[in-house]
Structure 1
Amino acid sequence: MTDYITSHLWLVWTLACVLALILEMSTGTFYLLCFAVGAAVSIVFSLLAVPLWLQVLIFAVASIASILLVRPMLMKRIHPEKYSRMSNADALIGREGTVIEPITASSPGYVKIDGDEWKAIGKDGATFQKGDHVTVVHRESIIVTVKQAG
């Protein structure tokens, strides 16, 4: 039996590849897909009669390379909203703050958001008094546009 397995290692790698693909379908993390890629690469080398120790090494290298190179690209394509990055200033949109200097239609005021002070204008010319709670709806340069919170 051992002789059969060693002479048909491609079959072992094929079973490992198929098993990893089946398990990947139940997890959806793409980690097992990377191991399936490693097993698929090992199938090719087992058909070329490469020694077992080298096949295992190739499997490990191909799997790790897939995890480091292929998986991040797949995750960015499948879940772009999760992996998009906002600048710190753009992350202000949707945050709430408190007016510390009144905002009028004719002159901007200041709001405090997470401990930082920002020059602010009211959305559609809205006015706010000191102490009002506001939400940031837009940012242009160093000026945020705010609306009534809630």
Structure 2
Amino acid sequence: MSDWQVWLIAGVLLLVAEMFTPGFWLACLAIGAFAAGLVGLIPVVGTTIETVVFAATSLLSMVGIRPALARRFRLGVGSGVRTNVDALAGKTGVVTERIAPGVRPGRVLVEGENWRGASVDGVVLEPGTRVMVVQVDGTTLMVEREPES
């Protein structure tokens, strides 16, 4: 088996392994392996030069490409991307069960799901009233009457 084939197989295996690990570290090594494989196609180049190309390209991709990928695909705290129930903030819905502050929370239909709802500003909201989710408190949507447009 030629050197370039070994580098190609290593690159593919590293990309597959990257799917199961966070951080894009193995993807950077895969880029290095692919670069070394390309250099390995040149008949007069030896294993030492291929290894240097692998190391240099991997290092450069870790410094140059990895930070951009991490910023682009990062989810979680501090990313600005809302997921799960937090993604409901700002959505509109309809009151399905009367919301009477101080008495008990009602129900709100938002994006096809029925949630417990409470009025954020202490106003009674009757069924059929269009509301906007202001925040989420556990499994209760804190809502206010949707502004008239």
TM-score normalised by structure 2 residue count = 0.53
| Displacement after TM superposition at 1:109 (Å) | 0.9
Are 1:91 and 2:72 an aligned pair?
no
Alpha-carbon offset, residue 96 of structure 1: 0.6
Larger helix percent: 1
Q: 1:134 & 1:92 partners in 2: Cα distance? A: 12
Point out where structure 2 has 5 or more consecutive residues left out of the alignment: 1-27, 33-47
Greater gyration radius: 1
Give the counterpart letter for 1:83 in structure 2. Answer: S
Q: Residue 148 of structure 1 is aligned with which of 109, 125, 145?
A: 145
Partners of 1:95 and 1:142 lie apart in 2 by 15
Among 103, 107, 110, the alignment partner of 1:113 is 110
Determine the C-alpha separation between the residues in 2 that align with 1:104 and 1:65: 56
Counterpart residue number, 1:102: 98
- CA-to-partner distance for each residue in 1:20-68, whole Å, 9 max, x for gaps? xxxxxxxxxxxxxx9xxx9xxxxxxxxxxxx654443333222333356
Output the CA distance in 1 between the equivalents of 2:56 and 2:77: 32
Under a length normalisation based on structure 1, what TM-score does the superposition of the two structures give?
A: 0.52
CA positional deviation for 1:86: 3.0
Post-superposition offset of 1:111 = 0.4
Query: How many Å separate the matches in 1 of 2:118 and 2:67?
Result: 45
> What 5-or-longer segments of structure 1 have no aligned partner?
1-33, 39-50
What's the RMSD between the two structures over aligned residues?
3.1
CA spacing shift, 1:129–1:54, aligned 2, 3 Å? same
